[in-house]
Structure 1
Amino acid sequence: MRKMERIQSAPYPLEGFYDEMFCEGPGVRTHYDQVYQRFAAIHKEELSAKQRATERRMMEEGITFTLYNPDQMQPLERTIPFDLIPRIIPKNEWLRLEAGLIQRVKALNRFVHDVYHEQRIIKAGIVPRKMIVANCYFRPEMKGVEVPGGNYITTSGIDLIRDHQGEYYVLEDNLRSPSGFSYLFKSRTMMNRLFPELAFSCSIRDVEHSLNHFLTVLRSLSPNRNREPVIALLTPGQYNSAYYEHTFLAQQMGIHLVEGRDLTIMDHKVYMRGLKGLRQVDVIYRRIDDEYLDPLSFSPDSMLGLAGIMNAYRAGNLAIANAPGTGVADDKAIYIYVPDMIRFYLQEEPILNNVPTYLMSDDADRAFVLENLQEMVVKETSLSGGYGMLIGPAASAQELKDFAMNIRNYPGRYIAQPTVQLSRAPVMQQGSMVPRHVDLRAFVLAGANESFHVVPGGLTRVAMTEGSLVVNSSQGGGCKDTWVLS
């Protein structure tokens, strides 16, 4: 391949945004040199052919996500838009992120334990009691329950963004049943297939070993130490939007994929039905929410879970990942207190900062936000996936009016944040590089006794619409492979 001169400017205006590949002056950031040279030299026809082959392969393998639009009669199943240009994170940058992520999840895990036991952080006046007991994810059934290995948060997806100066911030903590693992691993597989020489020459961290780590942390939770643990992934079924991911993870880790109807309870133990009869299950990695897990303990009309599974859990015969009740730390209002949790439980200063956040239940915060609503991002605390959200600069006058009324009527439901100018990265469209906003969902795996593994790189999510800040797959966002340099 012809050696190209480093370009002197980006192929598009930077417009004051932090760009992952390009910068003022030298043009291409040093760690992107090889990637830029490869993509700048490739013909449009070859790029188009690779893109078509990728989309065809994704459809053949069923790598899809279901979009639910209230304006449509039927949900739309589609492939995840995948961009060919990888995102690259230098080694030293990643080491800081890795340390900050482990610190954060460790503090959150201790917070969840504290909430259901001593409640020291409430007694210390750091987190208001009403923020816990009024939280829709707080499960009184978990009070006093000792979870296997002391670990509530086995899997977490921590969403990171960069501002206009390139500084990382934590945007959200996803702790109940975070999704995106499969897209991370399949993104790497596709890049290795499309550009094998590029992935090799850049010397990047492997992600495949993280599947072994995933299986190891699940095994570490088993309450039965006398035999090889039986692990099952509990799925809502094929009509769930992330069902592809459920099947992928079960296949790759060699664990059983089950629905509630495949399980039964005897003597406070969970058994799985099979061709050879019943087999006791030791660990359940569940991908259904708390309220559907056990109709005897939570929602009585649930057809997805298993009646009595909580009795088996409380009896110590079963591990459930993530633990029921973990969502109490997932709430967007609780997010505000995470830096204080780190100081309280770990006696450390946070390595990664939160985005400045306003509580609408606070009179002063609410007045400030209502006065500046057109500059704010407002989120409903109990929702995820980009739902129940207002992006002030892109909102219509009617949307601003409606949200202002909702905030006044139901202030406890909302938080607000200033609109952060998310960093951008180039994506390929019609053979040209164009800028799109990105974030990074980093995945932290935690086993018994606070053993941690951070998947190298995580999943870069892309707002595929020009100017949009919404990167969620459920809202039409795409993804990139993320490379951590070794």
Structure 2
Amino acid sequence: MFTIDHSKTSCFNEMFLPDGQIRSHYQKLFDCLQTLGESELLDRSKEIRQQMVRQGVTFQLYSANHTSERIIPFDIIPRIIPHEDWEKISSGLKQRVKALNHFLHDVYHDQHMITDGLMSRRQIVNNPYFLPEMSNVEVPEDVYIALSGIDLIRDENGAYYVLEDNLRTPSGLSYVFKNRSLMMHYFPELYFSSHVQSIEQGTQDLLTALHDLAPHHKQDPVIVLLTPGRYNSAYFEHVFLAQQMGIELVEGSDLRVVDQKVYINSIEGLRQVDVIYRRLDDSFLDPLTFNPNSLLGVAGLMNAYRAGNVAIANAPGTGVADDKAVYTKVPDMIRYYLHEEPILKNVPTYHMKKKEDREFVLDQLEKMVVKETSLSGGYGMLIGPQSTPDMIELFRKKILEHPERYIAQPTISLSAGPTLTDGRIENRHIDLRPFIIQGKQISVISGGLTRVALNKGSLVVNSSQGGGSKDTWIV
């Protein structure tokens, strides 16, 4: 029998109430863990790891000296969210993505948010992800964000907050499906008795959204997934999603532009491509428009896009809306574009370019989380309570030298969930990345990717920083 730590801490415990009682939606899982016992859980966990290796469920890690490939650690204890909580989360996510999509259209067209004082022109044009080349481009169905991943955390009272918006080429969707298939296979008795909401429709919903974007409402469009290639950190995901949706996986060298139309080389000859689900960063998409040294993109792609002969999802230039400095304005966007109050709140955020914010943060830097606005994946961060005095002083100098590059947030101790680690079940900090799909309709895949900070006490859940993942059950 396992002993599961339920000691009272300052963070929200997903499984236990403050008095040590099991939360009702976790009771069935708790009973199952006790019934299976330590030996059986460890055996199944080992089998799952071997299965992931056989199936190539891997992630590339890069450092200055070398590149390594490893599986993303998978924890067999699912994260469980009751249906009533999920209804509010789902509504808040749809609301947020709708507002962000309105904002992107406004940025690249009339810019009403500037004339009405929501944002300054400098905040837009100085944003590293703003693409002047997208100005006045007609985006199919006005959908800039076909797929987004919004990172959520819980505070000590269990309230959900949006930590970050991922709108360019959000990753992790494949692991949602892979995690679910592993749980269904290795824990069928628990899964099928728990009335978990299905995610099977997810890839079909994404495919439908991509169909919706086809130029001229083409009934049987040719859709491809554009990958940087097998050395990309998320290549497993690119292969998986292309297979699940039944679309071609292509690299830039497989495509060519003729008369402002994109074609794919095939055995039958050239076939016109209607929709590109791209997993390339903007700068690599087209060497004639962006980085001239790019060997990953397609020369002339942007001309075909501007001519309306191909759709690109997500649209180029969407990064202007998920910049960490713009993040602070999303609640105002919701009020401005939708005339609604935000359902999901932001984490309180301080701009280092504002003198009063900067002075406040520098006075208590050891308590703050500092982020470089243009970076993601856990890079360019300071987590004050877990940093050394030397690291804190380094970030102090960085902020003073380039305050416009940084934001800061109070340290919120992410909620903790039971995690099988080193042969024991212990609490580890977790967050949640749900995925939102937008075509003619907008939907949220039930659950999403729960990421786990595997090191005890750590708040860093990113796969690129050694984090793992769990299956997420909506019951």
Normalising by structure 1, report the TM-score: 0.96
Aligned position for 1:456: 446
Aligned position for 1:483: 473
1:13 partner SS: coil
Moved more, 250-259 or 19-28: 19-28
Per-residue CA deviations over 1:412-471 (Å, capped at 9, x if unaligned) read 1100000001100010124421010000001000003xx101000000000000000000
Per-residue CA deviations over 1:87-134 (Å, capped at 9, x if unaligned) read 111011000000000000000000000000110111111112111100
Q: % of aligned pairs identical?
A: 57
Q: Which amino acid in structure 1 is aligned with residue 76 of structure 2?
A: L
Among 302, 326, 348, the residue aligned to 1:334:
326
Cα displacement (A) at 1:271? 0.2
1:176-325 equivalences in 2 (<5 Å): 176-325=168-317
1:252 partner SS: helix
**Do the aligned residues in 1 keep the contact of 2:5 with 2:427 (CA within 8 Å)?**
no
Moved more, 371-380 or 428-437: 428-437
Cα displacement (A) at 1:26? 5.3
Among 9, 14, 17, the residue aligned to 2:11:
17
1:378 equivalenced with 2:366 (yes/no): no
Among 339, 364, 372, the residue aligned to 1:347:
339
Distance 2:74 2:20 in 1: 28
Cα displacement (A) at 1:208? 1.1
Moved more, 382-391 or 421-430: 421-430
Distance 2:372 2:437 in 1: 27
Aligned position for 1:390: 382
1:126 equivalenced with 2:134 (yes/no): no
Cα displacement (A) at 1:45? 1.7
1:45 equivalenced with 2:39 (yes/no): yes
**Do the aligned residues in 2 keep the contact of 1:10 with 1:28 (CA within 8 Å)?**
no
Distance 2:53 2:4 in 1: 33
Cα displacement (A) at 1:39? 0.7
Aligned position for 1:113: 105
**Do the aligned residues in 2 keep the contact of 1:84 with 1:480 (CA within 8 Å)?**
yes
1:94-113 equivalences in 2 (<5 Å): 94-113=86-105
**Do the aligned residues in 1 keep the contact of 2:4 with 2:426 (CA within 8 Å)?**
no
Distance 1:246 1:202 in 2: 31
Distance 2:277 2:446 in 1: 22
Q: Which amino acid in structure 1 is aligned with residue 49 of structure 2?
A: E
Q: Which amino acid in structure 2 is aligned with residue 457 of structure 1?
A: G
1:84 partner SS: strand
Distance 1:12 1:126 in 2: 45
Cα displacement (A) at 1:224? 3.5
Distance 2:408 2:243 in 1: 40
Normalising by structure 2, report the TM-score: 0.98
Cα displacement (A) at 1:27? 1.5
Cα displacement (A) at 1:330? 1.0
Per-residue CA deviations over 1:187-224 (Å, capped at 9, x if unaligned) read 00000001111111110100011111011000000004
Q: Which amino acid in structure 2 is aligned with residue 60 of structure 1?
A: R
Alignment gaps of 5+ in structure 1: none
**Do the aligned residues in 2 keep the contact of 1:164 with 1:423 (CA within 8 Å)?**
yes
Aligned position for 1:412: 404
Distance 1:423 1:382 in 2: 26
Distance 1:124 1:227 in 2: 40
Among 350, 356, 361, the residue aligned to 1:364:
356
1:111 partner SS: helix
Aligned position for 2:27: 33
Distance 1:382 1:431 in 2: 39
**Do the aligned residues in 2 keep the contact of 1:48 with 1:430 (CA within 8 Å)?**
no
1:32 partner SS: helix
Q: Which amino acid in structure 1 is aligned with residue 444 of structure 2?
A: V
Distance 1:150 1:135 in 2: 21
Per-residue CA deviations over 1:223-245 (Å, capped at 9, x if unaligned) read 04344000000000000000000
**Do the aligned residues in 1 keep the contact of 2:106 with 2:113 (CA within 8 Å)?**
yes
Aligned position for 1:424: 416
Q: Against the structure 1 CA distance between its residues 227 and 24, is the aligned structure 2 distance closer, same or farther, given a 3 Å change threshold?
A: closer
**Do the aligned residues in 1 keep the contact of 2:452 with 2:461 (CA within 8 Å)?**
yes
Aligned position for 1:466: 456
1:279 partner SS: strand
Distance 1:50 1:417 in 2: 39
1:270 partner SS: strand
Moved over 6 A (4+): none
1:154 equivalenced with 2:124 (yes/no): no
Aligned position for 1:440: 432
Aligned position for 1:56: 50
2:75 partner SS: coil
Q: Which amino acid in structure 2 is aligned with residue 462 of structure 1?
A: V
**Do the aligned residues in 2 keep the contact of 1:231 with 1:255 (CA within 8 Å)?**
yes
2:215 partner SS: coil
**Do the aligned residues in 2 keep the contact of 1:378 with 1:414 (CA within 8 Å)?**
yes
Cα displacement (A) at 1:84? 0.7
**Do the aligned residues in 1 keep the contact of 2:7 with 2:20 (CA within 8 Å)?**
no
Q: Which amino acid in structure 2 is aligned with residue 65 of structure 1?
A: F
Cα displacement (A) at 1:22? 1.0
**Do the aligned residues in 2 keep the contact of 1:44 with 1:430 (CA within 8 Å)?**
no
1:171 partner SS: strand
Distance 2:4 2:272 in 1: 59
**Do the aligned residues in 1 keep the contact of 2:144 with 2:315 (CA within 8 Å)?**
yes
Alignment gaps of 5+ in structure 2: none
Per-residue CA deviations over 1:64-105 (Å, capped at 9, x if unaligned) read 1111233xx221211111001101110110000000000000
2:413 partner SS: coil
1:59-74 equivalences in 2 (<5 Å): 59-70=53-64, 73-74=65-66
Distance 1:339 1:116 in 2: 20
**Do the aligned residues in 2 keep the contact of 1:224 with 1:282 (CA within 8 Å)?**
no
Distance 2:435 2:416 in 1: 21
2:454 partner SS: coil
Q: Which amino acid in structure 1 is aligned with residue 399 of structure 2?
A: I
